[in-house]
């Protein structure tokens, strides 16, 4: 028969400490958070790049329309006819792409939803307490 110097309780505590409190788990959780933040940052950068490219495209299209309306009408008779027969007015460019707010991560959206639910629950509890106090 083998004698155990440790009690079963200390063995169980040591097992749980190694299972849930290891540095590897903490390191993996930090790596996961960093990866999520990097992905959110890259998605935001992509959205900003797309919006700046759309803005640049709208500016170039507006320049082309100005050139078509001024140069083509004065350069030749055919150009003047093309400009005269453009029935719909050219659309005005919209330069509001760059004023985008920063995108929120999924965690921030979830947190805001949770806070809104908690606020509603507190308001409901306050209403119930107010009606109970009146009675």
- The continuous run of DSSP H or E covering 64 comes out as helix 23-67
C-beta atoms surrounding 55 within 10 Å: 17
Which DSSP state fits 21?
A: S
CA-CA distance, 39 to 33, in Å (whole number)?
10
CA-CA distance, 37 to 43, in Å (whole number)?
10
Percent of the chain at pLDDT > 90 equals 30
Indicate the range of 8-12, 30-34, 69-73, 96-100 predicted with least confidence. 96-100
* Residue 121 confidence (pLDDT): 92
Q: Which of 88, 95, 86 is nearest to 60 (CA)?
A: 95
* Residue 1 confidence (pLDDT): 44
Tell me the pLDDT band of 6, cut-offs 50, 70 and 90. Answer: low
Spell out the domain ranges in the chain. 8-103, 104-135
Burial pattern 86-112, b for ≥16 Cβ within 10 A else e, equals eeeeeeebeeebeeeeeeebeeeeeee
């Amino acid at each position: 028969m083998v004698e155990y110097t440790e009690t079963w309780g200390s063995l169980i505590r040591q097992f749980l400490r190694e299972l849930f409190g290891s540095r590897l788990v903490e390191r993996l959780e930090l790596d996961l958070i960093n990866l999520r933040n990097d992905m959110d940052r890259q998605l935001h950068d992509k959205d900003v790049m797309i919006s700046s490219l759309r803005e640049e495209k709208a500016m170039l299209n507006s320049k082309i329309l100005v050139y078509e309306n001024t140069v083509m009408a004065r350069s030749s008779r055919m150009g003047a006819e093309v400009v005269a027969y453009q029935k719909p007015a050219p659309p005005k460019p919209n330069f509001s792409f760059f004023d985008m707010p920063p995108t929120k991560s999924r965690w921030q959206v979830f947190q805001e939803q949770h806070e809104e639910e908690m606020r509603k629950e507190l308001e409901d509890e306050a209403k119930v307490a107010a009606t109970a106090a009146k009675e």
